[in-house]
């Protein structure tokens, strides 16, 4: 590992300290990639409120730019190692899904086994790299000293990687999560009561109303999923925590010790479930009213007449699809009277109709807010789903990875989406799905209802997030909102020990009673016959 460029690091940190502070000082430890898009929205708002923000980034980061008007950066010499091979990361998963058409139960099962193996393997490597980021920081005394001296008020991190929590603990600074996922799984499942009878486990695509077989699936997925997750992260983070914090620190709770959990969802999206006082819902915080479209795009959209437009994008990371899939999608579009704006960076499909516009990038929020937009085709990432809810646009889902199928299945359960399995997709299936959402008004009505519900709240989600960050700064943490439950062993949490103790008492009393009765019996009757 190369030595870090000390002078530069110390200089940025010094500059940080010199600039006069009216608000708080916030250290951000983000996760690169699409999650950064989200974090940046928060950072910009915090900056606008007068807070001073430093962002830790890897020197080879694709998304987190070194210079920004809203933050100063602390660049680590280590490689983030995340984006450089994202194609390599996602392409094999897509390959497995496409190759094994889920025609029978067994082929479906087999596909999932293969997918599972691949994902475990990839995520293990990912977490290995991510956990190693922290080592050069800790080993660099100068950097650590300047981080200490900077006297941050709060560390804001995405717990999809462990670095932020580790650093906050070392600096002894309050910790805030911008979260849905942590390295140990879905946030709610880790700190809030989560009965598996009505809370679907990650990636099961189940809802809150489960039949008996579905509940069996849910419980088995939970057991398998928690085991898999621990195998993916524990081997890398556990030794680190042990090395830097000592063997008596409980690894299993180390990453749950945040003051506030800013949750990137809400109960418009999520099924109702128990929650905790330090969980703050900010789902949709990135959504804004639409701005006018660029002139040429506006012209194209207007040219759709009463038919309206269809928007398609599969997120920041998936620019292209296998050519045969792209051909089928293009052919399906060509059959329709609507106009289509498709963010696609692959080779231009031959079957592309003249109603379809291919673009490298699209103003997603502005297009979704356009009155001519009829359907949104998306993969189920955070921004897409939340913006579709905000603007009330029905979805045709083409989920690809991670929790995307789950995300779309929630909207489907609420009547706002149709899901297409990319493994069986052809022009007829795809066109059918589109027609259903276009011409059956129930999808649009349901999304519009979700949109009205989402907007009807006392405070905008972004304001709520900022309020709670400032709250933590003002009160130097929010420990009083933190329940000790997450630190309890499972048998204390479920009062197994109390039940066992009470049962023992009951059994003892019963046994004593029985022996007394027996004794009396003997004394009265046995004594008598002996007389």
Ligand X SMILES: *[C@@H]1O[C@H](CO)[C@@H](O)[C@H](O)[C@H]1NC(C)=O
Residues that bind ligand X (CB under 6 A): 180, 264-265, 269, 283, 354, 381-382, 385-386, 402-404, 407, 440, 442
CB of 385 to ligand X, least distance (A): 5
**Residue owning tokens 């250290």:** 27
Contact 444, 376 (CB under 8 A): no
Q: In terms of CB distance, is 283 or 369 closer to ligand X?
A: 283
Residue 403: which of 189, 195, 251, 191 has the closest Cα? 189
Question: Nearest approach, Cβ of 99 to ligand X (angstroms)?
Answer: 22
Nearest approach, Cβ of 220 to ligand X (angstroms)? Answer: 23
Contacts 24+ apart (CB under 8 A), 353-356: 356/330
Contact call for residues 26 and 51 (beta carbons, < 8 A)? yes
Taking the complex as a whole, how short is the minimal distance between the CB of residue 13 and ligand X, in angstroms?
Answer: 31
Measured from the CB of residue 63, what is the shortest distance to ligand X in angstroms?
A: 15
Shortest Cβ 381–ligand X spacing (Å):
4
Distance CA 455, CA 434 (A): 27
How far apart are the C-alpha atoms of 374 and 392, rounded to whole Å? Answer: 10
Q: What are the structure tokens assigned to 419, written together? A: 């899901």
DSSP symbols for 199-235: SPPTTS---SS--HHHHHHHHHHHHHHHHHHHHHHHH
Nearest partner of 252 among 477, 496, 490, 491, judged by Cα: 490
Q: Which is nearer to ligand X, 143 or 280 (CB)?
A: 280
H/E element, 439: helix 427-439
At closest approach, how far in Å is the CB of 478 from ligand X? 22
DSSP for 440-506, written as a single string:
-HHHHHHHHHHHHHHH-SSS-HHHHHHHHHHHHHHHT--GGG--GGGGS-HHHHTTHHHHHHHHHHH
432/438 Cα distance (integer angstroms): 10
Q: Closer to ligand X at the Cβ: 12 or 207?
A: 207
Torsion angles phi and psi, residue 364, rounded to 5: -55, -50
For residues 310 and 385, which CB has a smaller minimum distance to ligand X in the complex? 385
Q: Which is nearer to ligand X, 22 or 354 (CB)?
A: 354
Helix axes 461-475, 34-48, angle to 10 degrees: 70
**Min dist. Cβ of residue 406 to ligand X (A):** 7
Nearer to ligand X, 71 or 390 (CB): 390
Element (H, E) at 474: helix 461-475
3-state helix, strand, coil in the chain (%, to 5): 50, 10, 35
**N- to C-terminal Cα separation, the chain:** 96
Closer residue to ligand X, CB minimum distance, 182 or 265:
265
CB of 72 to ligand X, least distance (A): 27
Closest CB to ligand X among residues 95, 441: 441
Using Cβ positions, the residue closest to ligand X within the complex turns out to be 180
Q: Which is nearer to ligand X, 57 or 180 (CB)?
A: 180
């Amino acid at each position: 590992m190369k030595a870090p460029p000390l002078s530069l690091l110390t200089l940025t940190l010094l500059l940080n300290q010199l600039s006069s502070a009216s608000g708080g000082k916030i250290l951000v430890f983000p996760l690169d990639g699409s999650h950064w898009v989200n974090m940046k929205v928060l950072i910009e708002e915090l900056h606008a409120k007068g807070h001073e923000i430093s962002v830790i980034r890897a020197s080879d980061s694709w998304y987190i730019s070194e210079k920004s008007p809203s933050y100063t950066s602390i660049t680590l010499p280590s490689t983030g190692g995340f984006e450089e091979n994202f194609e390599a990361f996602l392409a094999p998963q897509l390959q497995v899904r496409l190759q094994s058409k889920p025609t029978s139960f067994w082929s479906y099962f087999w596909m999932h086994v293969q997918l599972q193996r691949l994902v475990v393997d990839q995520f293990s490597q990912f977490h290995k790299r991510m956990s190693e980021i922290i080592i050069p920081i800790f080993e660099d005394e100068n950097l650590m000293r300047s981080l200490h001296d900077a006297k941050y008020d709060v560390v804001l991190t995405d717990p999809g990687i462990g670095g932020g929590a580790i650093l906050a603990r070392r600096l002894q600074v309050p910790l805030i999560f911008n979260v849905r996922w942590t390295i140990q799984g879905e946030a709610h499942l880790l700190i809030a009561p989560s009965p598996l009878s009505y809370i679907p486990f990650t990636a099961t695509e189940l809802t809150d109303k489960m039949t008996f077989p579905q509940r069996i699936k849910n419980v088995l997925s939970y057991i398998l999923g928690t085991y898999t997750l621990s195998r993916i992260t524990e081997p890398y983070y556990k030794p680190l925590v042990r090395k830097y914090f000592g063997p008596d620190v409980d690894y299993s709770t180390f990453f749950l010790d945040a003051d506030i959990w800013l949750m990137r969802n809400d109960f418009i999206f999520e099924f109702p479930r128990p929650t905790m006082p330090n969980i703050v819902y900010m789902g949709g915080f990135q959504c804004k009213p639409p701005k006018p479209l660029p002139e040429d795009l506006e012209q194209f959209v207007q040219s759709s007449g009463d038919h309206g437009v269809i928007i398609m994008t599969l997120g920041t990371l998936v620019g292209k699809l296998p050519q045969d899939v792209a051909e089928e999608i293009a052919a399906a579009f060509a059959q329709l009277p609507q106009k289509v704006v498709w963010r696609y960076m692959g080779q231009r499909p031959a079957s592309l109709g003249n109603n379809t516009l291919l673009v490298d990038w699209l103003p997603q929020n502005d297009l979704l807010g356009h009155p001519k937009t009829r359907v949104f085709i998306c993969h189920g990432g955070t921004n897409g789903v939340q913006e579709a809810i905000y603007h009330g646009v029905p979805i045709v889902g083409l989920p690809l990875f991670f929790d995307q199928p789950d995300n779309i299945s929630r909207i489907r359960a609420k009547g706002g989406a149709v899901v297409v399995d990319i493994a069986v997709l052809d022009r007829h299936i795809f066109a059918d799905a589109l027609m259903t959402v276009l011409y059956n008004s129930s999808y649009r009505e349901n999304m519009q209802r979700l949109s009205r519900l989402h907007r009807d709240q006392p405070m905008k989600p972004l304001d709520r997030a900022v309020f709670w960050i400032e709250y933590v700064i003002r009160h130097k943490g929010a420990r009083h909102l933190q329940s000790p439950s997450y630190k309890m062993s499972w048998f204390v949490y479920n009062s197994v020990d109390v039940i066992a103790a009470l049962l023992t008492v009951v059994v003892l009393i019963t046994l004593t009673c029985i022996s007394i009765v027996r004794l009396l019996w003997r004394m009265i009757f046995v004594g008598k016959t002996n007389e």
